[in-house]
Amino acid sequence: MKTTSKRKPNFRKLRAYAFDPSLSLKLDTAEVNEIEYTLPWEDLEKGPVGSYIEVIDYDPTIDRYYEAVDLNEPYILVENGIRPSESNPKFHQQMVYAVAMTTIKNFEKALGRKVIWSTRLLSDTTLYEEYVEKLRIYPHALREPNAYYSPHKKAILFGYFRSKASSLDIQMPDAIVFTCLSHDIIAHEVTHAILDGIFRHYNEPTNPDVLAFHEAFADIVALFQHFTFPEVLKHQIARTRGNLKNQNLLGQLAQEFGSAIGGYGSLRDAIGKVNPKTKEWEPAIPNPQDYKRTMEPHVRGSILVAAIFDAFLSIYKNRVADLLRIATGGTGILPEGELHPDLVNRMAKEASKAAKHVLNMCIRALDYCPPVDITFGDYLRAIITADIDLIKNDDQEYRLAFIDAFRKRGIYPTGIKTLSIDSLKQKELDIKFHKSNQGRSFSSNIDMNDTTKEYMAILNKYLKEYGDDIKYVTERSEIYRITTEYIRGNYDNPSGLVQGLHQRWAITIEEPGTESLSEMTGLAFHPGFENLGIKTDDQFYFPRFSIQNLRLLSRVGPDGNLLNQVVFSIFQKSGVVMNMDGTIGHFIPEVDPVPPNGFVMYGGCTLLFDLDDNSLKYIISKPIIDVEKYRLDGKYEVDEDRVRAQYNFQFNEGLEERSLYSKYFGVGLNNNFNEPFAMLHNH
Amino acid sequence: MKKINRCKVRMYRAGTGDCFLLKFYAGTRRKFTMLIDGGVWQGSKEYLTPFVENIKDATDGKIDLLVITHEHRDHVLMFDRCSEIFETFEIDQLWFGWTEDDGDPEVAAWKEKYGDKKKALSFAADRMNQLINDQSIRMSLAGNQAENEMYDAKVLFSDVVNGFSELHAAGFDGQKIYKGGLKGMEVVKKLKVNKVRYCRQGEIIKDIKNMEGVKFYVLGPPNMYQQVKKEHGKEGESYDHNKDLEVNDLFSLSVLKDELEPLKDDILPFDREFVIENDQMGKECFSVSNSQIRYEDPMKEWRRIDHDWLYSSGNLALRMNSLTNNLSLALAIEFEESKKVMLFPGDAEFGSWESWHKIKWHQGELKTEDLLNQTVFYKVAHHLSHNGTAASLGLEMMNHSDLVAMATLDFTNISNGWKSTMPNRKIVKELLKRTKGRLILLNDEEVYSDFEERELISTVIEKEKARMNDAEKYEFDRDFDIPKSIKVKTKGQIIEKPLYYEYAVDGR
């Protein structure tokens, strides 16, 4: 019987560990450690190989392949996958697939668009880059307690190793530990890969926060993805009986998730620890000094993880307050004995819901982050702005919970005067173009000169065209193809000619002569840009810039409101030299040789364009020029604060604070030519 | 009998590595000679001979006490290269840490296990070298943007691993002997001596002939095996920070496997039924086709991971390095009357320093902290690296106003990768503060005090010296001696330099 129009199922359910195998050995956690991951159905080849990932179980340490699982086998299908087992590599393949896909889907839901992996950069300068359809996963690639995402191979390599049990009651002594069986490690590494696909430059340590952010963000995703499984929470909540007011439970749980397999626990140490005297777990008291002093990416990252977790706890507390009042008749004291299962269910649901919300907020914020040189403060602003944009009515006070948690840890964004929702929200622009019978009309809530208006008009048209072209495209490779055409321009195909923004801008405006565009973006678009160490475009007399991360996104808010936006980043490089006398000089990157004490400073801005409104909403900038100075004196100079901060970090502070491993085996601060995440994890 | 009250400390300047000759005096009479280590990162017999001859001249061929702190090439290479000269010495006592007592079954078991790892490190280093030489690495990176930079990074990594491999395991006359001791160490163990002593942490050694008024406090090595056990079970303790070598067991197994032999069970992480044997590939290609086709796709060669696992050797190298450093015999040498201390910690790292403070000395109220407070001479551990000197449990306790420090760092003769860890800027700064510039580097050429390389460390040291008062200046100039330069041959070149620096410690 052959039917081509067979209805496909909506979901594929796969069994896997909720944590990692160690918890299956403990009786009290065994039952919750096995959960079903529900994934959207996709056709799978043996491996499994799907549209986003390909699992290839080749073990180079012994030069052998392991049998690959066929998830379409009927017996496997009816049983929702292979039964969790450490000793069966086919289950390992199934688990990495299940967790990786769950992570990808969480991102797609929050971002309102498809996940596209970062391209492979080529030595061939005309081709420049190559589309990567599938992230590759090697479940058994190393023999060490580590796993890492390789940006060069677009692959995740998982290690395994023999361990003396870190605690004898949960691990067999001398057992082999597989990192590919830990939910947290898989989610962590996949997040690195997704983030690399969005912000390639977040591997560049330009300030102490950048690498810390990469690590912390990956951990935040792993942690909250965990909390979205109500089964896991239910069990734990039931166990605590009358101790419900003690919100430490979730903190302890969060930390236990991390520590089960060693190395990855360190990011959660800032949440709290077991008091050696009382043997009780206690949340850590945040110390604002930590953020000032600690430079090592993991310790620093742990501050961010703790801040987000703190926000989550406040949100959860707020959400269950009424339940507790009902259950205790307003006394706050629960009767003896076990909790009512309904109460347990409801509380677990609230925790899981809060976790989902926090996870979404954290991921969504990415589109509101500057494309380079991110700091934790920038991230806080991004979280708040993104949330306001989508959710108008914050009746549960989520935003305040975030602000409060960051404030307690001394994380403040630079350049704002007070710490409030309004000041944290990025300044909203409203630059609009209308086409009517009278021709084009223009409206804007900020002043700009005519040339800039011209630039903006071109930009608006460009983004609108892009939005229209891509609106109904769902195939990832097709999205990539069209987007790349818009970024680079497509001149080979006269019938489907697409002009890139470079051409549109450079051709229309013969002489770069706009002040406002520089002022708005913080990048050098003014005459005399060469003096700030900016390269001239190969074809036009125009400052070199690049466009990255051009994406269309459509998000649905809780009130059913729809957000259709085009987001993209403009990116510029300035060659900077720190002279012996403390003054700042310039060189042109890729043209001049890098002088001693010279380095490249990246500037960039993320722009958000609202398609429905036809208006440019936000420009989130890491400037190259000192905008303030320009406004005061009308002079274009490089942003000295940024130059000095980057210099101080890259030539001094940061070098000293590197891990021993990276000092010995790395090349300076930037290990992007090696395996940056392997270096980062070996701390 | 007059008590010892002065010691001339001679730091030999062959290159990065330790070789210290200590001459003890009672008044003007030399009473006792002591040699601590005889090592350098690199050097031929021809190059090292003048140094060893100088030791012989200075001691009249008689060493009362030879101390070997630990088995690293930069502490024992001279014995390897110049064994004939050392064999002519008359040596009374030879001291090691207890971990060199090969007769102890616990030590023997440890050495067996450790030897395996040593061998694995050497094999991995060789393999990495080979892959670079036969262009495999270059080819595997071809086509990537920045392929040259990526290649350079891999070469650097391999060089550093090879450096660590040589530090731990260099065989006889170019032959690779991996498992046993370094040749220099073997030579030392075969020297004719009157008495061998294996020192234990917490021992106080006194009443040594001709050493009236001097006491030796054994600070390290700690009781390592116990400590390894203790490091388990800490909640949240990460494996990376764990000094336990077992983590590398599987890695060693696969590095050391015989390529031609069939795979043994202990090397496989799974039951054999799941492993597809290479020779079955053709027959049962149905079961693997997809993975194999994808992995071996010629267009996707850039995604292969054939060699990446070898880089785990970096982790192993660091772990072994720290372990061996922590086995250092660390001695505090006290002038009994003035209580002044000379501190020779070998290359002890934080773990060892930390354990010193748990020692019960059973001598009045004495605490290790007191010994550190009284330190007037400090041989900087591990060539000024960050790990070498503990901060709050070490340097910050050395607050004697007479403190002088010697550090065996030489950028012209140093292992790959060390330049980026040494000198640690914070430690240099702290030492300069505490010694008022009386920090003597084995060779300050090319060593900068900052990452920007704007200020040479020698300039900073001179500046700091201005903080000494006139009396201190006078005394330091009087007590510090630089002999005239001697011609030595190295790598076919003749260079001129003083063979040693000498500083006289006033123990009164």
pLDDT (tens digit per residue) in A272-302? 777 778 777 778 888 888 888 888 888 889 8
Query: Is the model's pLDDT at A69 over the cut of 90?
Result: yes
Q: Is residue B373 part of a domain?
A: yes
Kindly determine whether residue A673 and residue B146, on different chains, have CB atoms separated by under 8 Å.
yes
B332: in domain: no
Q: Is residue A673 part of a domain?
A: yes
Domain boundary among A424, A458, A486: A424
Residues of chain A in contact with residue B295, where contact means CB-CB under 8 angstroms, are: 56, 58, 65
Q: Determine the pLDDT at residue B172.
A: 43
Kindly state whether residue A216 falls inside one of the protein's structural domains.
no
Same structural domain for residues A357 and A247?
A: yes
Give the CATH number, domain containing residue B448: 3.60.15
% of chain A with per-residue pLDDT over 90? 41
Contacts across the A-B interface (CB distance below 8 Å)? 233
Domains in chain B, number: 2
Q: Are residues A184 and A238 in the same domain?
A: no
Over residues A537-556, the pLDDT tens digits come to 887 788 888 888 899 998 88
Quick check: B318 and A163 CB within 8 A? no
Q: Which of B247, B294, B451 sits opposite A145 (nearest CB)?
A: B247
Identify whether residues A401 and A464 lie together within a single domain.
no
Is the same domain home to A671 and A567? no
B134, B256: one domain: yes
Q: For residue A139, say if its preceding peptide bond is cis, omega within 30 degrees of 0.
A: no
Same domain, A325 and A372: yes
Inter-chain touch B386–A660, beta carbons under 8 Å:
yes
- Tell me whether residues A159 and B302 touch, CB distance under 8 A: no
3-state helix, strand, coil in chain A (%, to 5): 45, 20, 35
Looking at residue A146, which CATH number applies to its domain? 3.10.170
My answer on whether B349 and B275 are in the same domain is no
Tell whether B146 and B197 lie within a shared domain: no
Beta-bridge partners for B96: B198
The DSSP H or E segment spanning A297 is: helix A297-328
- Burial pattern B283-316, b for ≥16 Cβ within 10 A else e, equals eeeebbebbbebbeeeeeebbbbeebbbbbbbbb
Task: Identify the weakest region by mean pLDDT among A210-214, A658-662, B321-325, B355-359.
Answer: A658-662
Domain coverage including residue A251: 226-424
Q: Do B290 and A45 touch (CB under 8 A)?
A: yes
Predicted pLDDT at B404: 97
Q: Among partner residues A57, A155, A164, which is closest to B244 by beta-carbon distance?
A: A164
In a domain, B262, yes or no: yes
**Band of residue B108 on the pLDDT scale cut at 50, 70, 90:** confident
Q: Say if residues B112 and B227 touch (Cβ distance below 8 Å).
A: no
Q: Which amino acid would we find at residue A12?
A: R
Q: Which tokens hold the place of A165? A: 């049990």
Task: Please check whether residue A263 is in contact with residue B239, taking contact to mean a CB–CB distance below 8 angstroms.
Answer: yes
Task: Confirm whether B183 is domain-assigned.
Answer: no
State how far the Cα of A400 lies from the Cα of A350, in Å rounded to an integer: 19
> Are B473 and B419 in a shared domain?
yes
Asked if A223 and A305 touch (Cβ cutoff 8 Å), the reply is yes
Q: Is residue A555 part of a domain?
A: yes
- Asked whether the predicted pLDDT for residue B322 surpasses 80, the reply is yes
Stretch B306-333: mean pLDDT:
91
Identify whether residues A347 and A386 lie together within a single domain: yes
Evaluate whether residue B375 is within a structural domain: yes
Nearest C-alpha neighbor of B34 from the set B71, B9, B1: B9
- Which position has the higher pLDDT, A306 or A238? A306
* Count of beta carbons in the 10 Å neighbourhood of residue B376: 20
Do residues B12 and B87 share a domain? yes
pLDDT at A295: 82
One domain for residues B312 and B381: no
Residues A192 and A248 occupy one common structural domain: no
Same domain, B165 and B243: yes
Using pLDDT thresholds of 50, 70 and 90, give the confidence band for residue A445. Answer: confident
Phi-psi bin for A16: left (phi > 0), alpha (psi -120 to 50), beta? beta
Band the pLDDT of B73: cuts 50, 70, 90. Answer: very high
Q: Give the pLDDT score at A525.
A: 85
Please, which pLDDT band fits residue B236 given cuts at 50, 70 and 90?
very low
Are residues A607 and A509 located together in one domain of the fold? yes
Lowest-confidence region among A148-152, A661-665, B133-137, B305-309: A661-665
The answer to the question of residue A6 being in a domain is: no
B461 in a structural domain: no
Question: Do B170 and B199 share a domain, yes or no?
Answer: no
Asked if the structure places residue A204 within a domain, the reply is: no
Specify if A220 maps to a domain. Answer: no
Residue A148 lies in a domain: yes
A-chain residues near B279 (CB < 8 A): none
Q: Is residue B410 part of a domain?
A: yes
Q: Considering A178, A198, A218, which residue would you say is the last residue of a domain?
A: A198
- Write out the residue range of the structural domain in which residue B135 sits: 109-178+237-318
For chain B, the average pLDDT equals 88
- A567 and A545 inside one domain: yes
For residues B218-245, average pLDDT = 53
Mean pLDDT of all residues in A255-261: 58
Segment among A431-435, A640-644, B413-417 with least mean pLDDT: A431-435
Give me the residue from A49, A160, A656 closest to B426, CB to CB.
A656
| In the predicted structure, residue A512 carries a pLDDT above the cut 60 | no
pLDDT digits over A617-631, tens only?
999 999 999 988 888
What is the pLDDT at residue A244? 46
Residue B328 lies in a domain: no
Query: Do B379 and B246 sit in the same domain of this protein?
Result: no
User: Whole-angstrom Cα distance, residue B221 to residue B175?
Assistant: 30
Is A576 in the same domain as A663? no
Given pLDDT bands bounded at 50, 70 and 90, which one contains residue B240? very low
From the list B141, B236, B305, which residue is nearest A138 (CB)?
B305
Q: Are residues B129 and B251 in the same domain?
A: yes
**Domain shared by B37 and B170, yes or no:** no
The answer to whether the Cβ–Cβ distance between B425 and A656 falls below 8 Å is yes
Q: Do A143 and B314 touch (CB under 8 A)?
A: no
Contact A661 B318 (CB under 8 A): yes
**pLDDT tier for residue B279 given thresholds of 50, 70 and 90:** low
Total of domains in chain A: 4
pTM of the full predicted structure? 0.91
What's the confidence (pLDDT) of residue B132? 95
A295 Cα to chain B: minimum distance (Å): 14
pLDDT tens digits for range A81-99: 999 999 999 999 999 999 9
CA distance A450 to chain B (A): 40
On whether both A187 and A238 belong to a single domain, the answer is no
- Are B232 and A164 an interchain contact pair (Cβ–Cβ within 8 Å)? yes
pLDDT at residue A288 in the model: 87
- pLDDT at residue B228 in the model: 43
Asked if pLDDT for residue B484 goes beyond 70, the answer is yes
Residue of chain A whose Cα is closest to the Cα of B160: A665
Asked if residue A152 and residue A33 are part of one domain, the reply reads yes
Q: Which of B318, B349, B367 is the last residue of a domain?
A: B318
B289 with B409, same domain: the answer is no
**CB-closest option in B157, B291, B420 to A663:** B420
Closest-CA residue of chain B to A65:
B276
Q: Which residue of A has its CA nearest to B147?
A: A123
pLDDT band at B230; cut points 50, 70, 90: very low
B144:A660 CB<8 A: no
Choose the final residue of a domain: A424, A453, A486: A424
H helix or E strand, kind and range, residue B97 = strand B90-97
pLDDT band of B177, cuts 50, 70, 90:
low
Whether residue A379 lies inside any domain: the answer is yes
Question: How far, in Å, CA of A278 to CA of B54, rounded?
Answer: 62
pLDDT band at residue A516 under the 50/70/90 scheme: confident
Give the domain-ending residue among B287, B318, B349: B318
Q: Which ipTM did the prediction report?
A: 0.89
pLDDT at A27: 56
